[in-house]
Chain A
Amino acid sequence: MSVFYDKFERHAHGEGLKGQSTHYCAGCGHGLVHKLLSQAIEELGIQDNTVIVSPVGCSVFAYYYFDTGNTQAAHGRAAAVALGHKMANPEATVVSYQGDGDLASIGLAETVAAAQLGAPITVIFINNAIYGMTGGQMAPTTLMGQTTATSPDGRNQFNGQPIKMAELIAQLDGPVYVERVALYSPADRKKAAKAIKKAIQLQKEGRGYSFIEVLAECPTHLKMAPDKAEAWVKENMTKIFPLGVKKDTTVEPWFNRPQPCFKAETFVKAVGASSEAVQKHCKAFPSHLNPADISLKLAGSGGDGAQTAAMLIATAAINEGFDGTHIPAYGPESRGGTSYADVHVAKDEVLNPASPTPDILLAFNAPSLAKFGVTVKKGGCIIYDSSIAKDVKPMDPSITVVGVPFTEIAAGLGKMVVKNIVALGALQAATNLFPKETFMAAVKQALKDKASLIPLNEQAFQAGMDAAQAFLANKKK
């Protein structure tokens, strides 16, 4: 019995008799199950690696007794906490010890989710058909007709029927072993001992989740002498909760997780960081557009690629050593089919990343052009998809308005997805925000795992540039 503390220091500071006796009532099943668990842990030689999670309910103080790692969980959450322990240290043997209120009522979601996940933990479920700690109220496993403090006339149909947890858990795919046992006879106690040991053994071998339901006696709240309570469990409970193995599948050990990786190289690669400096092509900040902070708005419909184009502009800015930000469409304006992005390119620091009055508008459709065209600053620039937006209203004469058929050009290239790259090419030619090389460097970075697409994107960018230049040349004439 070495898995029990020699002295229960946590039980009222181990003072007096409490240092050596449990807090359970006379004849309670919990003490017996504690002994069976202690025995299994000892026999399997896993005391040092065991973590026992105690629930809320009568066994809330299980940590008084077991000389193992102990965690006390919130009501119903023991299985979730146990998983947290198992994930932290897969070598640990983690036991979630729960009563009927904890496991089958308030914690039902956590119970079922942990079982279906199937990660090797051991759940020991004490079903005594009543709430003990709160004083004899109805449990989810209370029998029909059974009188409790909250079913004073006996449990009836309006209270629902007792839930058969072992059967419920056994029909899930996750568990490898589910058995219901009892404590009322020497033979049953032996079976219970064997079941608990097997459940822990399966965990130790990394084979999976196991669930042992123990029909236990609560003489105090059944208001019976312990021997009568034993007889009551045998005669009444086993009719509703038949004993036996409910599931026992042979699964090869599978839960062997590696230690987490802390290699600098692996980390840097995983997050996509690069030590390779991107070549700079800008001679100076494009202050002809704004002295310190250029604001852009990119607007279109979902699928136009406005967000990707916005990302590429922000990336290009940062590659050049400037600051850049991008905020995707957010807020009520995003309703009604319009998707937009606010982008800033700043010499030093973007103070405010929103673009309510942009220097540059890149519009992929007519509603966007109508909506945001009027917000563009005097002296600003609007580039729009002239294949979609035909009747463009006159703008403030200080604003440069450039129409480029993004859609037609992209269609001509055979890939509609490059529409946004066409648009970026047009943006470059119309504003000279950055040199072509800067944009293309950002495009190549984004396509580093799809290098075969680079030539098409280069073609699209050039076509956008050419079209914008032709438009501007035409306008001058």
Chain B
Amino acid sequence: MPELKERPKPYLVPDYCKGCGRCVSVCVKGCIAFSDEINPVTGLVPVVLDLEKCTGCGLCIEACPEPYGLRALEQGEDFELQDPAKLFGEKPSAAPKPVEVPAKQIPLPKTEPLVIKGNYASAIGALLVGCRHVYGYPITPSTEGAELMAKLLPKLDGVFLQAVSEVATVNHMYGTGGAGLPTMTFTSSPGFSLMLEGVSYMVGAEVPGVFVNVMRGGPGLGNIAPEQADVKLACHGLGHGYSHCITLMPSTPQEMLDLTMLAFELSFKYRNPVIILADGYLGQMTGKVQLPDHMTEPGIPTWAVYGDLNHRKNLIASIQLLEQDLEKFNLYLHGKYESMQVEARAETFMADDAEILLVACNTPARAAKGAVQNLREQGIKAGLFRPVTIWPFPIEQLKAQLPRTKRIVMVEANASGQIENELRLALSKAGVTAIPPITHVRRCGGLLPQQTEVVDHVLSLAK
């Protein structure tokens, strides 16, 4: 006759009982009772067990809300109830230490240049670095990016998901970026405003992702024509808290591709979102775009929450509940932002001997470039300084220009001089006091500064 197996009876470390009593009501034998004795360690009042009549039905264990509250005492197990330390010492998760899954470089054949829109170029740039997960909500003038992704990603077994809103978009990105994969979106100013909560969370949880904001006129609904009025948002308003992102400002379709590729690289290098500020004109502009000689199959970084054994240990979160922890984290973030300074980039055009330095980004930089050539033809030593990163501002590159610069002329498409503000802030932070006079050519509301306006302004300065 087989030996009857005795059902396990409950045991309880009183320190882990909060005394809710959900177990008391389910015990038909009345083995568990409320007590009035305060536990000196917890200050709570645990239940007391008298297991003489216990049949090991287990209902009390099922009723206990605490993972380490009432537990089954298996046959043969022997617990020293008076010594919790013996039970609950350092027992880390059995999950392994994550190992990096490396990225692969895949050579591409040499191809003829593509003739494509800026928005398309950016999308192709993302595909080149291995982005196969794109989320978005249609908004003019960025929509072509999402449309091309919706067309191409199925052919590459990737995912384009049209989200229910920009808020959902950024949170899809938070999930996919948190899983360690490259992800991006195309949006335009009002949509970007909606994403900012998520950007702050991504910064806080150190999740990479690329945002292409094809800027349009604001505030509010504004219009769908180009403006450069989100510079302050990208540089100083990325959601709540201490958040900054490298922000790139392309000026040609080729650069839409190149800088999108760079954006992903930087985003993963620093585990931080990267913003691309384009303008409506550039998004729609068609030009020559050359593909690089390779593309990338992304790996999976060690910190990712991919949903496999290798990454089981990991957590993506932006909470630092203890003040000391958050202070430590924010100081670490500060250090990270400081280290991003080396990524500051600028391009110059005929600036080597320039006395009048035009400063412009995006499409206005092209009007300025035309103006430089026009002014040179008239014997005026004009040059262009074009910040490629607006955050961090390329202050070292600008400082190198200053000894020859007699005047700075800001050319930008917003009413308040948002790029000028970045320049002035950077000069101030760098302790530059000998600042040449700064004047400006500004258009806004969807109108861009024109080459002739820039030329006329510079000529008026010479008078």
Cα distance, A102 to B435, chains bound together (Å): 52
Cα distance, A8 to B296, chains bound together (Å): 39
* A-binding segment of B4-12, B169-177, B265-273, B392-400: B169-177
Tell me how many residue pairs across A and B have CB atoms closer than 8 Å.
347
Cα distance, A314 to B155, chains bound together (Å): 28
Cα distance, A213 to B220, chains bound together (Å): 38
Would A227 and B21 count as touching, CB distance under 8 A?
Answer: yes
Would B452 and A6 count as touching, CB distance under 8 A?
Answer: no
Question: Interface extent on B, as a size class?
Answer: 35 or more
Does A327 have its Cβ within 8 Å of any Cβ on chain B?
yes
Does A124 have its Cβ within 8 Å of any Cβ on chain B?
no
Would B115 and A73 count as touching, CB distance under 8 A?
Answer: no
Would B306 and A258 count as touching, CB distance under 8 A?
Answer: no
**Considering the complex, which residues of chain B in the window 188-238 have a beta carbon less than 8 Å from any beta carbon of chain A?**
197-198, 201, 205, 225-226
With beta carbons under 8 angstroms apart, the residue of A38, A70, A354 that contacts B451 is A354
Q: Which residues of chain B come closer than 8 Å to A330, judged between CB atoms? A: 141, 225-226, 280-281, 284
Would A22 and B66 count as touching, CB distance under 8 A?
Answer: yes
Would A186 and B315 count as touching, CB distance under 8 A?
Answer: no
Would A352 and B366 count as touching, CB distance under 8 A?
Answer: yes
Q: Which residues of chain B come closer than 8 Å to A306, judged between CB atoms? A: none
Would A324 and B287 count as touching, CB distance under 8 A?
Answer: yes
Q: Which residues of chain B come closer than 8 Å to A12, judged between CB atoms? A: 321-322
Cα distance, A21 to B370, chains bound together (Å): 68
Would B111 and A314 count as touching, CB distance under 8 A?
Answer: no
Would B157 and A113 count as touching, CB distance under 8 A?
Answer: no
Q: Which residues of chain B come closer than 8 Å to A7, judged between CB atoms? A: 88, 90-92
Q: Which residues of chain A come closer than 8 Å to B91, judged between CB atoms? A: 6-7
* B-binding segment of A61-69, A240-248, A360-368: A61-69
Contact with B along A154-165 (1 / 0, CB 8 A): 000000000000
Q: Which residues of chain B come closer than 8 Å to A30, judged between CB atoms? A: 65
The interface residues of chain A, by DSSP majority, are classed as mixed
Would B297 and A69 count as touching, CB distance under 8 A?
Answer: no
Would A268 and B108 count as touching, CB distance under 8 A?
Answer: yes
Does B127 have its Cβ within 8 Å of any Cβ on chain A?
yes
Q: Which residues of chain A come closer than 8 Å to B314, judged between CB atoms? A: 69-70
Cα distance, A428 to B44, chains bound together (Å): 92
With beta carbons under 8 angstroms apart, the residue of A2, A48, A352 that contacts B309 is A48
Would B133 and A88 count as touching, CB distance under 8 A?
Answer: yes
Q: Which residues of chain B come closer than 8 Å to A27, judged between CB atoms? A: 18, 20-22, 65
Q: Which residues of chain B come closer than 8 Å to A34, judged between CB atoms? A: 65, 67
* A43 to B: closest C-beta gap in Å: 14
**Considering the complex, which residues of chain B in the window 136-190 have a beta carbon less than 8 Å from any beta carbon of chain A?**
141, 152, 155-159, 161, 163-165, 167-168, 171-181, 183
* A200 to B: closest C-beta gap in Å: 13
Q: Which residues of chain B come closer than 8 Å to A225, judged between CB atoms? A: 21
Would B446 and A48 count as touching, CB distance under 8 A?
Answer: no
Would A77 and B451 count as touching, CB distance under 8 A?
Answer: no
Does B439 have its Cβ within 8 Å of any Cβ on chain A?
no
Would B111 and A22 count as touching, CB distance under 8 A?
Answer: no
Q: Which residues of chain A come closer than 8 Å to B309, judged between CB atoms? A: 48-49
Cα distance, A295 to B431, chains bound together (Å): 44
Does B124 have its Cβ within 8 Å of any Cβ on chain A?
yes
* A166 to B: closest C-beta gap in Å: 20
Q: Which residues of chain A come closer than 8 Å to B26, judged between CB atoms? A: 186
Would A328 and B284 count as touching, CB distance under 8 A?
Answer: yes
With beta carbons under 8 angstroms apart, the residue of B71, B133, B174 that contacts A81 is B174
Cα distance, A264 to B20, chains bound together (Å): 62
Does B19 have its Cβ within 8 Å of any Cβ on chain A?
yes
Q: Which residues of chain A come closer than 8 Å to B316, judged between CB atoms? A: 70-72
Would A94 and B112 count as touching, CB distance under 8 A?
Answer: no
**Considering the complex, which residues of chain A in the window 93-125 have a beta carbon less than 8 Å from any beta carbon of chain B?**
93-94, 109-110, 112-113, 117
Q: A353 with B366: in contact, given A84-B178, A226-B20 (CB under 8 Å)? A: yes
Q: A262 with B295: in contact, given A84-B176, A270-B152 (CB under 8 Å)? A: yes
Cα distance, A311 to B120, chains bound together (Å): 14
Cα distance, A4 to B71, chains bound together (Å): 13
Q: Which residues of chain A come closer than 8 Å to B317, judged between CB atoms? A: 54, 63, 70-72
Does A20 have its Cβ within 8 Å of any Cβ on chain B?
yes
Does B346 have its Cβ within 8 Å of any Cβ on chain A?
no
Q: A21 with B66: in contact, given A110-B168, A275-B111, A276-B112 (CB under 8 Å)? A: yes
Contact with B along A3-38 (1 / 0, CB 8 A): 011110110100001011110111111111011001
* B18 to A: closest C-beta gap in Å: 4
Q: Which residues of chain B come closer than 8 Å to A284, judged between CB atoms? A: none
Q: Which residues of chain A come closer than 8 Å to B65, judged between CB atoms? A: 22, 24, 27-32, 34-35
Would B446 and A85 count as touching, CB distance under 8 A?
Answer: no
With beta carbons under 8 angstroms apart, the residue of B66, B157, B167, B363 that contacts A77 is B167
Would A80 and B94 count as touching, CB distance under 8 A?
Answer: no
Would B201 and A74 count as touching, CB distance under 8 A?
Answer: yes
* B119 to A: closest C-beta gap in Å: 12
Would B156 and A266 count as touching, CB distance under 8 A?
Answer: yes
Q: Which residues of chain B come closer than 8 Å to A5, judged between CB atoms? A: 93
Cα distance, A277 to B68, chains bound together (Å): 70
Question: Which of B20, B21, B106, B318 has the most chain A CB within a 10 Å cutoff?
Answer: B20
Cα distance, A317 to B179, chains bound together (Å): 44
Cα distance, A304 to B382, chains bound together (Å): 41
With beta carbons under 8 angstroms apart, the residue of A1, A48, A272, A278 that contacts B114 is A272
* A442 to B: closest C-beta gap in Å: 9
* B20 to A: closest C-beta gap in Å: 3
Cα distance, A47 to B96, chains bound together (Å): 13
Q: A87 with B175: in contact, given A49-B307, A50-B307, A351-B370 (CB under 8 Å)? A: yes
Cα distance, A351 to B285, chains bound together (Å): 13
Q: Which residues of chain B come closer than 8 Å to A73, judged between CB atoms? A: 171, 174, 201
Q: A69 with B111: in contact, given A32-B65, A351-B373 (CB under 8 Å)? A: no
Would A275 and B183 count as touching, CB distance under 8 A?
Answer: no
Cα distance, A86 to B68, chains bound together (Å): 31
Cα distance, A331 to B24, chains bound together (Å): 74
Q: Which residues of chain A come closer than 8 Å to B168, judged between CB atoms? A: 77, 80, 109-110, 113
**Considering the complex, which residues of chain B in the window 335-380 have a beta carbon less than 8 Å from any beta carbon of chain A?**
363, 366-367, 369-373
Cα distance, A48 to B95, chains bound together (Å): 8
Q: A49 with B176: in contact, given A26-B44, A109-B164, A230-B22 (CB under 8 Å)? A: no
Cα distance, A277 to B24, chains bound together (Å): 83
Would B312 and A352 count as touching, CB distance under 8 A?
Answer: no
Q: Which residues of chain A come closer than 8 Å to B305, judged between CB atoms? A: 51, 69-71, 85
Would A89 and B108 count as touching, CB distance under 8 A?
Answer: no
Would B19 and A85 count as touching, CB distance under 8 A?
Answer: no
Does A197 have its Cβ within 8 Å of any Cβ on chain B?
no
Does B55 have its Cβ within 8 Å of any Cβ on chain A?
no
Would A311 and B112 count as touching, CB distance under 8 A?
Answer: no
Contact with B along A371-412 (1 / 0, CB 8 A): 000000000000000000000000000000000000000000
Cα distance, A72 to B206, chains bound together (Å): 12
* A116 to B: closest C-beta gap in Å: 9
* A67 to B: closest C-beta gap in Å: 5
Does B424 have its Cβ within 8 Å of any Cβ on chain A?
no
Would B178 and A85 count as touching, CB distance under 8 A?
Answer: yes
Q: List 5 A-B contacts (CB under 8 A).
A: A28-B20, A69-B305, A69-B308, A84-B183, A271-B291
8 interchain residue pairs of minimum CB distance = A84-B175, A92-B307, A31-B65, A352-B370, A27-B20, A88-B179, A6-B91, A72-B317
A contact set with B: CB distance below 8 Å? 1-2, 4-7, 9-10, 12, 17, 19-22, 24-32, 34-35, 38, 47-51, 53-54, 60-61, 63, 65, 67-74, 77, 80-89, 91-94, 109-110, 112-113, 117, 186, 189-190, 219, 225-227, 230, 257-264, 266-268, 270-278, 310-311, 314-315, 318-319, 323-328, 330-332, 350-354, 356
B contact set with A: CB distance below 8 Å? 13, 15-16, 18-22, 24-26, 41-42, 44, 59, 62-69, 71, 84, 88, 90-95, 104, 106-115, 124, 127-128, 130, 132-133, 135, 141, 152, 155-159, 161, 163-165, 167-168, 171-181, 183, 197-198, 201, 205, 225-226, 280-281, 284-288, 291, 295-297, 305-309, 311-312, 314-319, 321-322, 363, 366-367, 369-373, 446-448, 450-452
